[in-house]
Amino acid sequence: MPDAVRAAAEAWLAQDPDAHTRAELSDLLTRVDEGDETARADVSDRFSRRLAFGTAGLRGALGAGPNRMNRVLVAQAAAGLAAYLLERAEPGKTPSVVIGYDGRRNSDVFARDSAEIFAGAGLSAILLPRLLPTPVLAFAVRHLGASAGVMVTASHNPPDDNGYKVYLGGADEGAQIVSPADAEIAAAIQVVADRGDIGEIPRSVGYRNAPESVIDAYVAATAAVAPAPAGAAGLRWAYTAMHGVGWETLRRILAEAGYPEPTTVSAQIDPDGTFPTVAFPNPEEPGAMDLAFQTARASGAELVLANDPDADRLAVAVPDAEVEGGWRQLSGNEVGLLLGWRAARAAAGSAEATLACSLVSSPGLQAIAEHYGLGFTATLTGFKWISRAPGIVYGFEEALGYLVNPETVRDKDGISAAVALLGLAAEARERGTDVAGLLRELRDTFGAYASDQISIRVSEVAQIGSIMTSLRARPPAEVGGIGVSRIDDLLEGVDGLPPGDVLRIWLDDGSRLVVRPSGTEPKLKMYLDVRGDSDDEARRRLATLRDGARQLLDSIR
């Protein structure tokens, strides 16, 4: 093992306040001394680099070392964020930070460490009173007029992960950080890390707990998104919190809004950071919704709703006799267009109102916006960008993220989206139809939009750069036999978007192919979108585009 790596590991041990991670690292070093090559590679991976702090904050596997999530790294992040806020504070004004946490392992520990360090730096630190959904934290930043917010969560990542998400108040209105704030905070964190000993960071227990009135205000605002219409009476639906923190808050909102309670997936309704019934706590993953479908079949449900573990995403499923098991999970684009249609009808006639989605989400939202005379904005991926669209009244992203109440929360919110969806379902029942019927009406009004994804996982991240370089050097003239009409290279700046490593390929028949590296995994992603006059036509076009996209990938790999 290189001397620098060994020295870094020893220095880490000397400052780590967590007995568990100290024991973990000590055991690894002992195994290295005994000649264990697996342990040597593990230690090298932990200490050869740091988890990067970016626009998604920090996220990674729990464990000792700067390339893992732990109390040392969180202390450095909190102290760096405090320094950033103090440097930018108005003269005579004390910055404030509100901190939230979910039910993952160590979330509460990381949150309290952060609160003590913020307070020790002289900031006004406010800790939410218990584990709560991410949207409640995003709401609290604006509601309390805080300078910033921190949410300790890894959302729907694997069970052994955790993360540290940062929001900014003031002019940012409680949205997640974007450039250049991410780089500036990262630089401040590095200054703290270079000092070497988190034991020297001032701490104080002088933080305060947020009052229950903050949660009450979120409940009231979210219940007002869609008060239950008459059709809600007798609505039978099933719900899973995916072992996360959504149910307690959602249950209160249902009561205030007037919706009947669902049949819950009892094995998944309470927070459990080990996620015992799912291999991957993401409603998009195969098998994650199986217990929800089982519950729905047993209870005769008309609808299934699911939140991810921190409740910022929403999954929806409807009965479908043609699908094995009798339930079909809707895509994020299908739900996004339904909720966008709802928002457009409500905003019709508002000159400044805008619908927004990420550039990899369905172009159907633009058709809806234009139909109602509203503005439309396509943004880079992530709600840090979507939430900043001027005049936004609704935004969504195909990865199950929806922003239905931007005046309340400037982030995706799976709880308010659930309330809005229940409102749509109840209104449909009044007219003798259901959510599947609403999708048919959407198709008849705006055309049949169909979407798909192709993901290529690579062993080396450099391979992704090589593929993107090849695509730029040898752009395709056709995909699946359909001519290419134009290619937007977002590295060059397109439609006022910030530069990004994204290629948007438009075909002569109106189909679209978007190619981009994943922001969180070693994957290249291709997003496919088509429109047809019928579902059958859209499916045929999508199959042709899918085959052509795979051939294109094969030709450049």
pLDDT above 80 for 524: yes
Helix 364-371 and helix 332-347: axis angle, to 10°? 10
Is the domain spanning 448-556 CATH 3.40.50.2300? The answer is no
Reported confidence tier of residue 80, pLDDT bands at 50, 70, 90: very high
Task: Report the percent of the chain where pLDDT is more than 70.
Answer: 99
Q: What is the pLDDT of residue 555?
A: 87
Flag whether pLDDT at 498 surpasses 90: no
Q: What is the pLDDT of residue 505?
A: 96
The answer to whether residue 519 scores a pLDDT higher than 70 is no
| pLDDT number for residue 499 | 87
Annotated active-site residue in 96, 155, 358, 362: 155
- For residues 479 and 506, the answer to whether their CB atoms sit within 8 Å is no
With cut-offs at 50, 70 and 90, classify the pLDDT of residue 520. Answer: low
In sign, the C-alpha dihedral spanning 413, 416, 420, 421 is positive
Asked if 223 contacts 391 with a C-beta cutoff of 8 angstroms, the reply is: no
Please state the domain extents for the chain.
Answer: 1-11+18-48, 49-210, 216-329, 332-353+375-444, 448-556
216-220 long-range contacts (CB < 8 A, ≥24 apart) are 217/139, 217/143, 218/135, 218/136, 218/139, 218/140, 218/143, 218/249, 218/408, 219/249, 219/252, 219/253, 219/256, 220/256
**Model pLDDT, residue 458:** 81
Query: Has domain 216-329 been given CATH number 3.40.120.10?
Result: yes
3-state helix, strand, coil in the chain (%, to 5): 40, 20, 35
Q: Which of the following CATH numbers is that of domain 49-210: 3.50.50.60, 3.40.50.970, 1.10.1270.20, 3.40.120.10?
A: 3.40.120.10
- Categorize the per-residue pLDDT at 172 as very low, low, confident or very high, splitting at 50, 70 and 90: very high
What is the DSSP secondary-structure string of 503-554?
Answer: EEEEETTS-EEEEEE-SSSSEEEEEEEEEESSHHHHHHHHHHHHHHHHHHHH
Half-sphere exposure (Cβ direction) of 299: Cα atoms closer than 13 Å: 22
Residue 554 scores a pLDDT above 90: no
Please check the confidence at residue 91 and state whether its pLDDT lies above 70: yes
- Return the DSSP state at 431: T
Give me the mean pLDDT over the 510-530 stretch: 88
**Around Cβ 229, how many Cβ atoms within 10 Å?**
17
Question: How much is the pLDDT for 523?
Answer: 85
Main-chain dihedrals φ then ψ at residue 200, nearest 5 degrees: -90, -5
Quick one: pLDDT at residue 497? 86
Average pLDDT of the residues in 87-112: 97
Span 259-273, pLDDT tens digits = 999 999 999 999 999
Given a cut of 80, is residue 220 above it in pLDDT? yes
Instruction: Output phi, psi for 456, to 5 deg.
Output: -115, 115
| d(C-alpha 373, C-alpha 396), whole Å | 19
Q: Is the pLDDT of residue 433 over 90?
A: yes
CA contacts within 13 A on the Cβ side of 502: 21
pLDDT, mean over the chain: 95
Domains 49-210 and 216-329 share a fold: yes
Considering only 2-6, 20-24, 72-76, 507-511, which range has the smallest mean pLDDT? 2-6
Predicted TM-score (pTM) of this structure: 0.95
The pLDDT of residue 173 = 94
Beta strand 392-397 with 208-209: parallel, antiparallel or unpaired? Answer: unpaired
- Condensed to tens digits (0 to 9), the pLDDT of residues 285-337 reads 999 999 999 999 999 999 999 999 999 999 999 999 999 999 999 999 999 99
- Mean pLDDT, residues 521-536 taken together: 91
In this structure, of 10-19, 54-63, 210-219, the range with the lowest mean pLDDT score is: 54-63
Phi and psi dihedrals of 173, rounded to 5? 55, 35
Number of neighbours of residue 367 by Cβ within 10 angstroms: 17
Alpha-carbon span 278 to 288, nearest angstrom: 6
Span 332-353+375-444: which CATH code? 3.40.120.10
Q: How confident is the model at residue 44 (pLDDT cuts 50, 70, 90)?
A: very high
Distance CA(491)–CA(383), nearest Å, equals 20
In this structure, are residues 260 and 422 in contact, taking their beta carbons and an 8 Å threshold?
Answer: no
Q: Is 155 a catalytic residue?
A: yes
Q: What is the mean pLDDT of residues 167-187?
A: 95
Bridge partners of 487, per DSSP, are 505
SS (H, E, C) 247-308: HHHHHHHHHHHCCCCCEECHHHCCCCCCCCCCCCCCCCCCCCCHHHHHHHHHHCCCEEEEEC
For residue 58, the one-letter residue type is L
Nearest residue to 12 (alpha-carbon basis) of 57, 53, 70, 60: 70
Distance in Å from the first CA to the final CA of the chain: 35
How confident is the model over 421-437, as a mean pLDDT? Answer: 97
Tokens 């003798």 locate to 432
Least confident of 24-28, 411-415, 496-500, 516-520: 516-520
What integer pLDDT is reported at residue 518 of this predicted model? 79
What's the pLDDT at 299? 97
Strand residues in 429-522 grouped as ranges (E): 448-457, 478-479, 482-489, 503-507, 512-517
Whether pLDDT at 99 is above 70: yes
pLDDT digit string (tens) for 229-254? 999 999 999 999 999 999 999 999 99
From the list 132, 385, 356, the residue with the least C-alpha distance to 253 is: 132
